[in-house]
């Protein structure tokens, strides 16, 4: 079964939220989750919805784990990856 997540951005880092409330069974539902999240959690935690949704592969996705407010997030691109390549 496919799962889709909305992609958010903060400080140049793209991420998705690791919580069942932020996962959908189709891309349209994930998009609606992203838009709704931007008006509550996005305002409180200062992040934006990228107007992009990705399908999560069954084997998982390469990411860096982080915490943002009460949420665990999976950072999938941004400065953290550039820093790692330079060291």
Structural domain boundaries of the chain? Answer: 3-86
Residue 84 vs residue 59, higher pLDDT = 59
- Residue 48 CA to residue 39 CA, distance in Å, equals 9
11-15, 65-69, 76-80, 81-85: range with lowest mean pLDDT: 81-85
Q: How confident is the model at residue 58 (pLDDT cuts 50, 70, 90)?
A: confident
pLDDT at 53 > cutoff 70: yes
Residue 81 vs residue 19, higher pLDDT = 19
Helix (H) or strand (E) holding 32: helix 27-38
Question: What are the C-alpha distances in Å from 53 to residues 3, 27, 74, 86?
Answer: 10, 6, 14, 29
* Mean of pLDDT values over 53-68: 85
Q: Give φ, ψ of 7 to 5 degrees.
A: -105, 130
pLDDT at 87 > cutoff 60: no
């Amino acid at each position: 079964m496919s799962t889709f997540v909305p992609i958010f951005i903060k400080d140049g880092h793209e991420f998705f939220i690791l919580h069942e409330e932020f996962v959908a069974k189709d891309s349209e539902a994930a998009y609606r989750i992203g838009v709704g999240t931007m008006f509550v959690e996005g305002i409180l935690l200062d992040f934006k919805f990228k107007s992009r949704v990705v399908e999560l592969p069954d084997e998982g996705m390469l990411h860096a784990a982080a915490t943002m407010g009460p949420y665990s997030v999976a950072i999938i691109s941004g400065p953290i990856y550039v820093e790692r390549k330079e060291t």
